[in-house]
Amino acid sequence: MEWLLIVAFAACIITPLVVQATGLGGEDVIASRERRVPAPPPKLPRNLESWAKFPRATEDWYAERFGLRNQLLTAQHWMKLELFDETPVERVVIGRDDWLFTNSSDALDCNRGTRPFTAEQLRDWRESLKARRDWLASKGIDYALVLVPGKAAVYTEQVPRQYERRGPSRREQFLEELRQEDDLLVVDLLPALQAERDDDTADDHVYYPLGMHWTARGALVANAAIVQALPPRHQGRPPATREDMEKRYSTGGDDFSHQFLVSGRFQQGEYYFVPAGQIPSHVAGGSNGEPDFDLPTWISSETGLTRALVVRDSFGNMIMPFLAQQFSRLNEVTSLNFSPALVEELHPDVVIELFVDHTLGYHLPQQQRVFDREALREAFEASQEVLLAPVGEGDAPELVGLRGTQVGKTKRGTRIATDGSGSVTLPPFTWTADQDVVLALDISAPAPTFLSLYYPLEGVNAYREKQATDVPIHPGRQTIYVALPPPVAPGPIALLPGRTGGDYMIHDVEARVVTP
């Protein structure tokens, strides 16, 4: 009997090593089933700071390659689901009839009414949106804010009991606050989507039962509501309807259940639309002699239509093919922060901001004032209060590469070699919420593209793509000026120099407190 225990113990010790050595599971499984990037191998330490991070990096890397990790994780998830009827993934909540909801960034709590806005937060939102509207109006540009309801607001009966409503949601507070501004165009899509769900069937819904986003049918209805709410000059052609489309069925769609690693229990299909005839718009880059700055760009073959810039979150993915039909040229930006520099460069006739309501749970607007690029330059040059001093000619700023980005100092500045995804952190400095700060970045770029500045955040990822300031840049050397938002969390600003691969040079960087 004793030798059986010894053999069993040895098997338990050896089997994970054998599985790991054979390469079964590991990174491929993480990428395909968990749909995320596995932790990278730790780099050999070169200084005290990297030595301090080395143990954690090694632990993260090994934990995702431990033999039998995937089998053990799947077994744990199965037991939670089938034996205890609990979600094995913290951010995903199981609702009634096995509908799935995200509670990322407290989305359900914001809808439930247990995390209300403060009066100051509501005022900041209203003043910020007013500033955008007024600045755009001064340039003859229309503005529309489109608020997408989360799935919990449309399908309230499917929300789990522990997240039933207790008071006004952030969405309702937000809309009530903005009703004070008669000239601010706010498009609330909830009524249109609630009306459309009356046509739901067992396998056809306005939102994916297992995901977060709207289906093609929901996006089509939302598009019509947006177009009908815009000023008449942007209604050059009628919005697409179901009668213009061929309806087709497939399996899959937006689906959280893959994170559970357990197959069989959660299944859904989806209907999608294919245009019945030729459509007038298509995605293009740099068409008609105009640079697109690496932004997704839709060009129409029709004439007499207006131009649009759409600043949007992931709900824009499904609606863009429909919305693009309304405009001669549409540029889209996947960010939540308004960029005056992009507006000045792209010359739209209307700016549309589109985001889902649970964004209100973590996002606050950056500035309550909007400045032209020339005004930022003049304010910067007039200031004598320096927060981050320049290094000057012949030296190079201290930049730290993130996620393997290669940087190197030269006599002309700090060189960044990137495939279009590499990023660095800028030299650290601090500022306060009551200071107006402008960052000057002396940069050389290989092609027309746009750079992004990311700011440290609390409660979500350290740097979040949606929370970036996007600025267009041209080939060659230039100095750009960026108004920084009030700080949310301590830490350095991260810079993604451009979406085009190649060599970028940061010649210098400086920050000053300015007087608006």
Given a contact cutoff of 8 angstroms between Cβ atoms, the answer to whether 306 and 327 are in contact is yes
Binning pLDDT at 50, 70 and 90, where does residue 512 land? very high
Given a contact cutoff of 8 angstroms between Cβ atoms, the answer to whether 434 and 301 are in contact is no
Angstrom distance (rounded) from CA 400 to CA 304: 48
Which token pair is 387?
A: 């927060």
Burial environment of residue 166 by CB neighbours within 10 A (0 to 12, 13 to 18, 19 or more) = exposed
The amino acid occupying position 329 is R
Q: Is the dihedral of CA 401, 404, 410, 412 positive or negative?
A: negative
CA distances from 199 to 51, 95, 247, 274 (A): 60, 21, 15, 20
Given a contact cutoff of 8 angstroms between Cβ atoms, the answer to whether 266 and 95 are in contact is no
Q: What is the mean pLDDT of residues 53-68?
A: 72
Binning pLDDT at 50, 70 and 90, where does residue 180 land? very high
Given a contact cutoff of 8 angstroms between Cβ atoms, the answer to whether 320 and 332 are in contact is yes
Angstrom distance (rounded) from CA 189 to CA 229: 10
From the list 38, 17, 83, 63, the residue with the least C-alpha distance to 262 is 83
Given a contact cutoff of 8 angstroms between Cβ atoms, the answer to whether 154 and 190 are in contact is yes
Angstrom distance (rounded) from CA 38 to CA 40: 6
Given a contact cutoff of 8 angstroms between Cβ atoms, the answer to whether 507 and 391 are in contact is no
Angstrom distance (rounded) from CA 188 to CA 356: 10
Which token pair is 373?
A: 């690029």
Binning pLDDT at 50, 70 and 90, where does residue 474 land? very high
Angstrom distance (rounded) from CA 344 to CA 349: 11
Angstrom distance (rounded) from CA 327 to CA 90: 41
Lowest mean pLDDT of 5-9, 236-240, 265-269, name the range: 5-9
From the list 374, 376, 394, the residue with the least C-alpha distance to 507 is 394
Binning pLDDT at 50, 70 and 90, where does residue 389 land? very high
CA distances from 410 to 259, 351, 388 (A): 45, 41, 20
Q: How many residues does the chain have?
A: 516
Q: 261 in the Ramachandran plot: left (φ > 0), alpha (ψ -120 to 50) or beta?
A: left
pLDDT at 496: 94
Residues with Cβ within 8 Å of 85's Cβ and at least 6 positions away in sequence, in order, are 94
Domains by residue range for the chain, with CATH:
2-83 (no CATH), 106-244+268-361 (no CATH), 373-513 (2.60.120.260)
State the CB neighbour count (10 A cutoff) for residue 2. Answer: 6
Q: Phi and psi at residue 477, in whole multiples of 5°?
A: -95, 140
Given a contact cutoff of 8 angstroms between Cβ atoms, the answer to whether 277 and 297 are in contact is no
Per DSSP, the residues of 239-300 read PP-GGGEEEEEEE--S-SGGGGT--SS---EEEEEEESS--SEEEESSGGG---TT--EEEE
Q: Phi and psi at residue 374, in whole multiples of 5°?
A: -65, -35
The helix or strand, by DSSP H or E, that contains position 223, with its residue range, turns out to be helix 216-229
Lowest mean pLDDT of 229-243, 376-390, 391-405, 450-464, name the range: 450-464
- Give residue-wise pLDDT tens across range 103-158: 887 889 889 999 999 999 999 999 999 999 999 999 999 999 999 999 999 999 99
Q: Phi and psi at residue 511, in whole multiples of 5°?
A: -130, 135
- Strand-strand pairing, 350-356 and 306-312: parallel
The amino acid occupying position 44 is L
For residues 311, 229, 242, 245, the Cα torsion angle rounded to the nearest 10 degrees is: -50
| Arithmetic mean of pLDDT over the chain | 86
**Hey, is 445 helix, strand or coil?**
strand
Given a contact cutoff of 8 angstroms between Cβ atoms, the answer to whether 357 and 169 are in contact is yes
pLDDT at 279: 66
- Give residue-wise pLDDT tens across range 436-471: 999 999 999 999 999 999 988 765 556 776 678 899
pLDDT at 10: 66
Distance of CA 512 to the CA centre of its chain: 28
Angstrom distance (rounded) from CA 398 to CA 393: 14
Binning pLDDT at 50, 70 and 90, where does residue 68 land? low
Which token pair is 326?
A: 């309304």
- Give residue-wise pLDDT tens across range 481-490: 999 988 877 8
- DSSP tally for the chain: helices H, then strands E: 13, 22
Angstrom distance (rounded) from CA 148 to CA 161: 23
Angstrom distance (rounded) from CA 268 to CA 253: 8
